[in-house]
């Protein structure tokens, strides 16, 4: 699937750290920021999660839910949340046929001549009606959470 503005996300279940199912459709009626990142406890991913967590209150004030997504297990997510005091909720994507696979952001990557599957750091802003309002592909972490907050505030302003 190629992401496009105005599309609705596939309603594929993710798993929260407490083992509950969470879907994009659970957030209808409020805006949702889904930020997909490669791996818990790596430098860029830790910074990104801390940045979104630091702005969680401002996102809530803008009627915008946050949800960080990676393929890490729910248990690893909980350790990551506890270690860094994260306020932005996290969810685990299925190892195969998950939401990131359906969106085409679980993709083949290459490092030092070795190919492997990995998450392309991507953020999606979903409007309250469930349609994609904005997409940030291949995210650079510095300043990103603040940019997403500004877009969320401006949406339906």
Give residue 131's pLDDT: 96
Query: Domain range holding 41?
Result: 14-154
91 is catalytic: no
Measured distance CA(9)–CA(122) in Å, rounded = 14
Q: Is residue 5 in a domain? A: no
Domain annotation covers residue 8: no
pLDDT tens digits for 45-101?
A: 999 999 999 999 999 999 999 999 999 999 999 999 999 999 999 999 988 899 999
Q: pLDDT of 4-49, one tens digit each?
A: 999 999 999 999 999 999 999 999 999 999 999 999 999 999 999 9
The CATH number of whichever domain residue 21 belongs to comes to 3.40.30.10
DSSP 62-110: TTEEEEEEESS-HHHHHHHHHHHT--S-EEEPPSSS-HHHHHT-EEEEE
Report whether pLDDT(156) > 90.
no
Instruction: Indicate the number of domains in the chain.
Output: 1
Closest CA to 100 of 147, 62, 68: 68
From the list 9, 14, 24, 45, the catalytic residue is 45
Residue 9 lies in a domain: no
């Amino acid at each position: 699937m190629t992401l496009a503005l105005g599309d609705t996300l596939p309603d594929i279940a993710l798993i929260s750290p407490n083992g509950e199912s969470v879907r994009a459709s659970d957030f209808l009626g409020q805006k949702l920021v889904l930020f997909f990142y490669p791996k818990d406890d790596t430098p860029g991913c830790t910074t990104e999660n801390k940045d979104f967590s630091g702005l969680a209150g401002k996102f809530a004030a803008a009627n915008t839910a946050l949800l960080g997504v990676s393929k890490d297990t729910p248990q690893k997510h909980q350790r990551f949340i506890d270690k860094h005091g994260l306020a932005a909720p996290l969810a685990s994507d299925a190892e195969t046929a998950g939401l990131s696979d359906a969106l085409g952001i679980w993709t083949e990557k290459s490092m030092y001549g070795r190919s492997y599957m990995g998450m392309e750091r991507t953020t999606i802003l979903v409007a309250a009606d469930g349609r994609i309002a904005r997409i940030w592909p291949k995210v650079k972490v510095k300043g990103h959470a603040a940019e997403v907050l500004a877009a969320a505030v401006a949406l339906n302003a």
